[in-house]
Chain A
Amino acid sequence: MKLKSLNAITFEEEIYDNGQPCLVVFSRKNCHVCAEVVPMLEEAAENYIDSFGFFYVDVEDESDLFKRFSLRGVPQILFFNNGEYQGKLGGLLEEERVVEKIEEVRMG
């Protein structure tokens, strides 16, 4: 499942207004590790339709969003619930780590 792309405006709507538990992956096109992590998320997303949001931010197109979170690189996965930041995972990751974190965020 392709992840929904966010820009500065839709980011506000999805993360803060809707407030559903979700993750946002910050990524860029020519980053090798991103190219491994993003497909893994696309697969994981299949298991959470309606129960957990999966979003994508291209840091080249949306550099302001990227700067706002003072991130130190890509890929970075940020987690939110009710519009509140719940932590992040960076770099090369196993699916298990991500699923663990998703469950933690869902449980609140």
Chain B
Amino acid sequence: MSNIYDIVIIGGGPAGLSAGIYGGRAKLKTAILEKGTVGGMAATTREMVNYPGFKTSTGPELTKAMADHAREFGTEINKDEVKDIDLNGEIKVIKTKKGKEYQTRAIIIAVGSQPRLLNIPGEKEFRGDGVSYCATCDAECYEGLHVVVVGNGDAAIEEAMFITKYASKVTIIVIHDEGTLDCNKLSAEKAFKNDKIEFIWKSVVTEIKGENAVTGVTIKNLKTGIIQELQTDGVFIYVGMVPETGFLKGKVEMDERGYLSCNGLMETSVSGVYAAGDVRTKYLRQVSTAVGDGATAAVAAERYIAEQESFRNYVLNSDKPILMAFWDPVVQESLDLLSVLEKTVADHGDAVNLIKIDMSRTKMIAQKYNVSKVPTVLYLQGKDEFTVFDDENCIAKLDAFLKRNI
């Protein structure tokens, strides 16, 4: 069996696992590469109350079921971290930390995102010694202690509430005016009612202090400019997420924050490369939307692979020269051209094969030959040698050309 994969999926969170299920089910040679926990961010979520059909599932349960499902359909799940990718050829190459190379026809990027750092003094230094980004992992260590939570979105407020199970007091530092939280209303109401929770409004943390472990934070009020010190044993930081797309810089188009922009087919700027889940520019980052993206990306990749395959069979292995006509159902001019072309080919005794390419459905072949305009006609002499006819007199020119060459 060939060592070339059909689809390699980078990241084994909900988006990657869902893509793996669809890829495996379509009998494509599919691998998922995951550097950490299979199940991704969702595997560290204690309660999952909004995934349709599973009212009370936990993140680990749900994602384990997804992983088993993908494996049952024949998808490999390998522990490894992708360090670099080469997207230049039709066969793309993925290089991993363990020194492996994967060759693949299509790639689905499902690397999700990571907690954003505050980048303030003390944050790096005390990571693991009082600075944390994961309440599930670390809240227990703060039994009876005072904890500061930075942030006010869903994650910040929900995690703050979880920490109150252990800590004696939780102080939430909020950048907005008094009473304003970015989280959902229900969580906000619960937090306001929780008597272990206190808020410091209109403020930011500017420094984390300590010796061997965190002992306090410096807080600045943005309105008054007043700076105060607050004693605390731990700081949990929930100030949003950043996509893990550093290794894709300059290779795949991304927005200024590093999220990958793609269309409804989950296609990125590179043909054969798809993105799914939290890593792409989108409105809602949840498990339910991640699995939808994964399904779409895998099916789009499957189509792309099939297109490539049939292109290779019909075009590259043809015994006659090939005439490729790029058309689009909404461009009347291109429809007219098709019927003229058919006649031209017949006039030349069917010595060439006419292939019609619907640009509204297939982009890969057009990209391969740098065709952006409809109609365009290509005469293919050899594998990489071709002549372009795309101006107003193209039929007359083509006719003359065929007379000379056939």
Residues of A within 8 A of B (CB): 28-36, 39, 59, 63, 66, 71-76, 89-92
Contact = CB atoms under 8 A, between A and B. Distances in A.
B214 A35 contact: no
Given A28-B137, A32-B36, A72-B132, 5 more contacts: A30-B37, A31-B134, A32-B40, A72-B130, A91-B128
A33 B141 contact: no
Contacts of A59: 140
23 contacts: A28-B137, A30-B43, A30-B60, A31-B136, A32-B37, A32-B43, A32-B137, A33-B134, A33-B137, A35-B36, A35-B37, A36-B36, A39-B79, A59-B140, A63-B140, A66-B141, A72-B141, A72-B142, A72-B214, A73-B134, A74-B137, A90-B129, A91-B131
Contacts of B37: 30, 32, 35
B141 A73 contact: yes
**Residue among B41, B79, B137 with the most chain A CB within 10 A?**
B137
A73 B60 contact: no
A91 B127 contact: yes
A92 B127 CA distance: 8
Interface in B250-302: none
Interface residues of B, number: 27
Contacts, number: 65
Interface of B: 35-37, 40-41, 43-44, 59-60, 79, 127-132, 134, 136-138, 140-142, 213-214, 233-234
Contacts of B79: 39
Contacts of A66: 141
Contacts of B44: 30-32
A34 B137 contact: yes
Contact of B35 (A36, A72, A74, A91): A36
